[in-house]
Each structure stands twice: as C-alpha cells, then as structure tokens.
Amino acid sequence: MTNLIYLDNNATTKVDERVLDEMMPYFKEEYANPSSMYNFSKKSSDAIKEARVKIRDFVNAKDEKEIFFTSCGSESANMAIRGVLNYNKNKKHIITTKVEHPCVLNLYQSLEKQGYRVDYIGVNSNGELNLEELDAAINDDTALVSVMWANNENGIINPIEKISEIIKSKNKETKFFVDAVQAAGKIPIDVQKAGVDLLGISGHKFHAPKGIGALYINSKTMITPLIIGGHQERGKRAGTENTPYIVGLGKAAELAQNGLDFELIEVKRLRDKLETNIINKIYNARLNTGAVASRVPNTTNIGFEYIEGELILLHMSDIGICASSGSACTSGSLEPSHVLRAMNVPFTAIHGSIRFSLSRFTTEDEIDYVIEKLPQIIEKVRSISPYQKELEQLKNLRR
C-alpha cells in the first residue's frame, strides 16, 4: 500500500508521464519561438498546430481555428465572459447559476458592481438546475448565459444541450458560455451537438500540468480580446505561445479522449464501490446528491452528520488519504460551501461534507483501504461530538 491515496482529482491531477515525455523536447532542443521565420521554428509551430487539432477533436469543434490557448480555466472564463460583454456593450444582463465555480461567481459579482444585472439560477436538493427559472430569466437584454457543464463539488452534469435550446428559442443573440473544466476528460464533450458558443477547459484537471487551458469560441461568436499585444492566437490572446504546455495539453486531451470509456466504466465502478460502502457502513453518512442524478463518474459528495469536515480531513491526511470538504473551516471563509447551501443540504450535514474525486490512476486497493479506514476515523470524530443524543437517534433510525 502506498502512503498517499489521492482522492482529490477535482482539485488537480497528477501529470501523466506520457504527457510529460511529449513536452520535454520543447523545453530542451525545440525552444524556438513558433512565430519565427527560420526552419528551426517549424517543429514548434507544427507542434502547436497539432495540439490545436487535438483540442478541436476533444471538444468536437468544427474547425481548429475556433480553439484558443490560455493559461488556465480562470483565464478562459474571463476571456469568454468579458470578451462577449465588451463586444456587446449595449446589453447589460447576464444569467448564471448559484453553483458556479468561485472563479466565475466572483467575476460576476465584480461585474454587478460595474452596472451589470446578474440572475443566479438555483438548484434543487439533488443539485439539478431549475430550467424553468432559467427560461423565465432570458430577455432581450440578455448578453450571456453562463452555466458549468459539471459541478466541481457534487459532480452534477447540467443538461447543456437542453439549456442551449432554451436560450436560442428565447433570444438568438444571447451567447452561451460553458465552463467545462470539471467535465473535460470525464464525459464526452461535443460543442456542436450541445450548441455551445464558448467553452473553457483547464489542463491540470485531466493530467496535463497546471498553467495551461483553452477556450473554444465558435466562428459566429465575436469577442473583444482581454490581452492585447502580439498577433498570437489570431489576435485574440497575445503572448508568445507556451509551446511545451500547449503540447502537453494536446497530449492530455488525446489520452483523456481515448480513456473516456475507462472513465465511464472503471472509474465509475470504483466511485460507486466507495460510495455504497461508506453509506452502508457509516450510519451518519448521507449522499448529498440524489443517487439517480446524472453525475460525472469520478465524484461523490457525502455528508457526515453531526461532525465537522476539517477534522475528518485532518485524520484522513494523517494516514495519507487526500480529499476535500465543503466545510467552512477548511476554506478560510467562515461559511460552508455555496454549492451545498444552494442544494439545501441540511445544516446537520453541511459542515461534515466530504468530496472524494477519483481519477484513472485510482486503484481498487486504494478504495478498499479507504473503505476499511474511514469508519474508524468517523467513529473517532463522532466520539467527541456534543451531539451524542442526536447521533444515537440517527443510529437507531438506520437500524
């Protein structure tokens, strides 16, 4: 048994060796600026072209010209959102969801201060988006609808195609941005079928390194660029191309694309095994999403009632298990996860919620180890809880 069991793959992932191998020559021998005129730069400019094609295929874009490389998921989101709004200056209304990633939510809050009107669409207790509310919110002034493909905390998959249909039926000019950071590499992405105008991804969530992302912008969508400078990325994103990282992103996308079946079958099997065993073995455990809800295959979010999440994480960390928590205490903020609050997770469980997120590198032995050790940890944390009476009731109820 290794002494590190990494079940926090929605936070970041390990770089795949094959990705790193592909990148290495562009750090060493092939360091030419891809925009240069001599033969020496041909290899790096070809490598970027190749990577762009791989990302095109990864999201099934029509043309590789619709793919733009960025430095991360946050940049992709900023480039898309600000880009669309700055291009359509007369429109001041935006629609998003209450459960978006903070990198997007914080941007919308800052835009509100600049005079934009933002509607935040709610979710039900399973974490599923209220589509009627979304439908009703769209009007003539709506510049942008922004919805994440999959949620980072609970793994819920939003019906992107359906949302796109709703948007286009209400206002054909409204642009649709999808933050697909948590969906990429876990489920198939097809921007054409789903009717997406802009879509952001981030490499380090699917075994590329940190510091590289991409934005898909369909050819009919115009944006005002964020970073002005050279002509790189067809003038939409200045800055000398980060050749090794772009190559790495392309390779990681190719591997993820080929590994989707493994993700949907094998990773899901291990996730389900972990989830079922925790729920069955630990009487104060509850699944925070509906069991039947449509979720990415690697994520489970479980609330442990009447105990606190940071303490669970600390005890798990002591034996090498890495996961994350929706608890207020872990984040430095004082409030528990906005996603779990939007889902109305009961306050008895919200502070004790733990997210486990697997990857293709997670092994059965690791899952078995967690299944073996977690009940003891939970028992230890329960034993110091002031809610002994309530825990006793819960135990009797579950019998």
Partner 1 sequence: MWDYSEKVMDHYRNPRNVGSIDNADAVGVAGSLTCGDQLKIYLKIENNIVTDAKFQTFGCGSAVASSSILTEMIIGKTVDEVRKITNKDIADELGGLPPEKMHCSVMGYEALEDALKHYSADGYVDLDEILDEHYGKPEKKEKMVCTCFEVTENAIWDAIKVNGLKTVEEVTNYTKAGGACGKCKSAIQDIIDTYYNKQKTEIEKLTPTQWILKVNNVIETQISPELQKDGGDIELVDIKNKTIYVKLKGRCSGCKNSTMTLKNFAQKVLQDSLGTDVTVIEAE
Residues belonging to the active site:
329
Answer whether 59's CB lies under 8 Å from 199's CB. Answer: yes
Our measurement of the distance from residue 285's CA atom to the centroid of its chain's CA atoms, rounded to an integer in Å, reads: 25
* Of residues 264 and 314, the one with the C-beta less far from partner 1: 314
Q: How far is the CB of 175 from partner 1 (least distance, A)?
A: 31
Cβ nearer to partner 1, comparing 22 with 308: 308
Question: Which of 162, 103, 90, 107 has its CA nearest to residue 129?
Answer: 162
Task: Report the candidate in 308, 190, 202 with the shortest Cα–Cα distance to residue 245.
Answer: 202
**Three-state SS string across the chain, please?**
CCCCEECECCCCCCCCHHHHHHHHHHHCCCCCCCCCCCHHHHHHHHHHHHHHHHHHHHHCCCCHHHEEEECCHHHHHHHHHHHHHHHCCCCCEEEEECCCCHHHHHHHHHHHHCCCEEEEECECCCCCECHHHHHHHCCCCEEEEEEECECCCCCEECCHHHHHHHHHHHCCCCEEEEECCCCECCECCCHHHHCCCEEEEEHHHCCCCCCCEEEEECCCCCCCCCCCCCCCHHHCCCCCCCHHHHHHHHHHHHHHHHCHHHHHHHHHHHHHHHHHHHHHHCCCEEECCCCCCCECCCEEEEEECCCCHHHHHHHHHHCCEECEECCHHHHCCCCCCHHHHHCCCCHHHHCCEEEEECCCCCCHHHHHHHHHHHHHHHHHHHHCCCCHHHHHHHHHHHC
Of 292 and 334, nearer to partner 1 (C-beta) is 334
Kind of pairing between the strands at 175-179 and 142-148: parallel
CB of residue 232 to partner 1, shortest distance in Å: 37
Q: Which is nearer to partner 1, 138 or 307 (CB)?
A: 307
Query: Which residue's CB is nearer to partner 1, number 271 or number 382?
Result: 382
Q: Which is nearer to partner 1, 162 or 315 (CB)?
A: 315
Q: Which residues pair with 303 in a beta bridge?
A: 286, 353
Closest distance between partner 1 and the C-beta of residue 82, in Å? 25
Residue 399 C-beta: closest distance to partner 1, Å: 23
Q: How far is the CB of 283 from partner 1 (least distance, A)?
A: 17
In the complex, the smallest distance separating the C-beta of residue 182 from partner 1, rounded to whole angstroms, is 23
Closest to partner 1 by CB, 204 or 382: 382
- Please give the torsion angle defined by the CA atoms of residues 229, 230, 235 and 241, in that order, rounded to the nearest 10 degrees: -110
CB-nearer residue toward partner 1: 264 or 328: 328
**Contact residues for partner 1, defined by CB under 8 A:** 306-311, 314-315, 318, 327-330, 332-336, 347-348, 351, 383-388
Q: Output the smallest distance, CB 189 to partner 1, in A.
A: 33
- Smallest distance, partner 1 to C-beta of residue 351, A: 5
